[in-house]
Amino acid sequence: MLDFMENVKEIPVGDWMTDFVDWLTNTFAFLFDPIKDGLASFMSIITQGLAAIPPVIFILLVAILAFFMTGKKFGLAVFSIIGLLFIWNQGLWDHLIETFTLVLIASIICIIIGIPIGILMAKSKVAETIITPILDFMQTMPAFVYLIPAVAFFSIGVVPGIFASLIFATPPTVRFTNLGIRQVSDELVEAADAFGSTGPQKLFKVELPMAKYTIMAGVNQTVMLALSMVVIASMIGAPGLGREVLASLQRAQVGPGFVAGLCIFVLAIIIDRFTQNIYKDKSK
């Protein structure tokens, strides 16, 4: 058996993939360049707009929003104030804004793409059969691998970071949307059919409203996965707190790296609790 394998010619999968990426890059350069410029400009506008808000005002707005979103409880509001004041005190406020913008844009794109695909999977067995292995591939492939085509398509900068986050973070929204719609009670669907509802009416007035909490749970996971890509995306030029972690790693500076990591932790907790309360409180 070993002799047989030694005599078998190596399948040039790597060469095929290189040729395929080169072909995509050359063929669709006219499309990649406008996407890169447009996303970079959009992110710059959002970042500058958020950075223009005085930190004190920003922190107070977050605390007030946290207070009302959690049913007028002080826990998240107090944590937000202390955590964001700490980030400001450490001189990492601008990096926080850059990271938040990156996560926000990546998450919005993931949701815009993921929910329609999840609906398609819920409505079509064929689509579910085809898309499920693709989602498995997206979730199990090491995140670092996504950086290679991202750089090939969009060069170095924030846009390839968004692209890599998009591949890594979209599957939960797709899966939970599919799951939520499929879990809608058959009796409700039959009642909608009995009243003569059209397909779109049944989807938007029955299935999506009943599945919204499951879908929002998927959105929560997507946002957190997008945030987890911050440090990895910094390796290809994405700005923000991840760049500070990477710089500390390269210089073997434990202190600055720990501070930047702690800031990412604060942002992660705030975002996670916010997205959780969007659907948890309303489901009560």
CATH assignment of the domain containing 170: 1.10.3720.10
pLDDT at 8: 60
Structural domain boundaries, residue 208: 27-280
Number of domains within the chain: 1
Tell me whether residue 108 is in a domain.
yes
Tell me whether residue 107 is in a domain.
yes
Tell me whether residue 22 is in a domain.
no
Q: What pLDDT band is residue 7 in, cutting at 50, 70 and 90?
A: low
Instruction: With a cut of 80, say whether residue 12 has pLDDT above it.
Output: no
pLDDT at 281: 45
Tell me whether residue 250 is in a domain.
yes
Q: What is the DSSP string of the chain?
A: -HHHHHHSPPP-HHHHHHHHHHHHHHHTHHHHHHHHHHHHHHHHHHHHHHHTS-HHHHHHHHHHHHHHHTTS-SHHHHHHHHHHHHHHHTT-HHHHHHHHHHHHHHHHHHHHHHHHHHHHHHH-HHHHHHHHHHHHHHHHS-HHHHHHHHHHHH-SSHHHHHHHHHHHHHHHHHHHHHHHHHTS-HHHHHHHHHTT--HHHHIIIIIHHHHHHHHHHHHHHHHHHHHHTHHHHHTTT--SHHHHHHHHHHHT-HHHHHHHHHHHHHHHHHHHHHHHHHHHTTT-
pLDDT at 280: 64
Percent of the chain whose predicted confidence (pLDDT) is above 70? 95
Rounded mean pLDDT, 250-255: 82
Q: What pLDDT band is residue 54 in, cutting at 50, 70 and 90?
A: very high
Rounded mean pLDDT, 17-33: 78
Q: What pLDDT band is residue 279 in, cutting at 50, 70 and 90?
A: low
Tell me whether residue 40 is in a domain.
yes
pTM of the model: 0.83
Instruction: With a cut of 60, say whether residue 159 has pLDDT above it.
Output: yes
pLDDT at 3: 58
Instruction: With a cut of 70, say whether residue 100 has pLDDT above it.
Output: yes
> Of the ranges 5-14, 54-63, 64-73, which one carries the lowest mean pLDDT score?
5-14
Tell me whether residue 2 is in a domain.
no
Rounded mean pLDDT, 118-136: 91
- Between 36 and 106, name the one with better pLDDT: 106
Tell me whether residue 20 is in a domain.
no
Tell me whether residue 1 is in a domain.
no
Arithmetic mean of pLDDT over the chain? 84
